[in-house]
Amino acid sequence: MHVLVVEDNPDTRELLQQALKNAGHVVYQALCVHDALRLSRMHPNIDVVMVDVHPGHRPSNVEVAQEMQRQLPNGHCVLASGDWDTLESSCMKDMTVLRKPYGKSDLLRALERCAARFGIAETRKIHA
């Protein structure tokens, strides 16, 4: 799968990239909204956009995820947040939710659920 990670924390972004690459995914990194939108236009083959949701950001990362889903012909979103109430009230039915704190196996299972829900072909099965 081709995965776009939208994460403003460089350490977290690097950990996510390594975990996803080690699982056989192609990973693009964005540190901000504008970077994510630019990358989604440059790489229309992105299957999943993983977005870290921060309450109070404008535009919200959920809104950004929705915009990227409109731009990407096959793009689907995994939303990650520690603010569970925000996730429950704001996420669309066609987005997968990943609740913080999460580990590598949780991350990979969320991608696997997203792939299964939307028929995204995976090159490798995830073993957690």
Q: Where are the domains of the chain?
A: 2-118
pTM: 0.81
What pLDDT does 8 receive? 85
Q: Chain centroid to CA 96: how far?
A: 9
Using only C-alpha atoms, the chain has a radius of gyration, in whole angstroms, of 13
Helix 104-118 × helix 10-22 angle, to 10°: 60
Q: What is the DSSP letter of 51?
A: E
Strands 48-52 and 2-6: parallel
Per-residue pLDDT 10s for the chain (128 aa) are 999 998 888 999 999 999 999 999 999 999 887 888 899 889 988 998 888 876 666 556 667 667 777 777 677 888 887 776 655 555 556 678 888 889 999 999 999 888 887 787 654 343 33
- The CATH number given to 2-118 is 3.40.50.2300
